[in-house]
Amino acid sequence: MTHLYDCKCGDCNHQGETFTLSLKGKFKGLLTTVEKAFKKLHKTGSYKPEDLIKVKEYRDVIRATNGILNGSLEDNKLSKEMLNALENDIFYFSQLRTHSELFEASQLLLDDNKKIKSFETFSNDVSKIKTDYNQNYLEAEYDFGVGSVLMAERWDNFKGGENFLLQYRTAKDDKVRASHQLLDETTLPKEDPFWDKYFPPNGWRCRCTTVEVLARKYEQSDSEASNTNGEKATTKEGKNGKNQLEIFRFNPGKEKVVFPPGHPYRKVAGANKIKK
């Protein structure tokens, strides 16, 4: 999971620094809770997905994480149905990321002789995991959650129909990604398949939005060309040859979820048991 959300751009790093200051107190509380969970993990000497609901220290991490990520729901006028769905998705995501963190840490419990390490050694070895999950990753996830919830609210309130179109808009400044610039002012009906995959946010730290406009005032974009641009904007081949941006091809409002259904947390060994 190393560098899970690292897009290698200076703008995101700067944004992350500012964000860290705003949530410094909450990070501290979560880190304390995680420290207790890692002590329990070391004492137990192993980890299984079933332990998430059995072990108090692990449940505490889920609750603390969920409490922070639920902040993305504030200041939004969501329908009861949408609110319930998004709350459930955030709680599920909080479980998945806690499982991922504990699973990753559990791989560092044993030394080369297959013996449990001293707690001092173990604690030192997992220090980067604690920082990554409870600061670096959490920053990007919270930021994405805020944008995703806002877009879900907008989708829920868009009228649709022949008198209205939806228009994709970037932040229109020098920080806009070239790939997202391709989509700027794409104007299509709410029913167009473009919005199933390329409704923002379309990446970590994405600031793009979508607004509803009068059909009589704007020229409708070509659907095929727009979908081709959407595919380009969400394609980036990683070292393993897989598309790193494909997970963003979803519509939070239409699917009633906050986080990408294809997120890497869902692919960690044992993650399927978390859903059950």
Torsions phi, psi of 236, nearest 5?
-155, 110
Question: Rounded to an integer, what distance in angstroms lies between the CA atom of residue 169 and that of residue 207?
Answer: 9
Per-residue pLDDT of the chain (276 residues; tens, 9 = 90+): 545 665 544 444 434 444 444 566 677 889 999 999 999 999 999 999 999 999 999 999 999 999 999 999 988 889 999 999 999 999 999 999 999 999 999 999 999 999 999 999 999 999 999 999 998 899 999 999 999 999 999 999 999 899 999 999 999 999 999 999 999 999 999 999 999 999 999 999 899 999 999 999 999 999 999 999 999 999 999 888 899 999 999 999 999 999 999 999 999 999 999 877
The residue extents of the domains of the chain are 10-154, 159-234
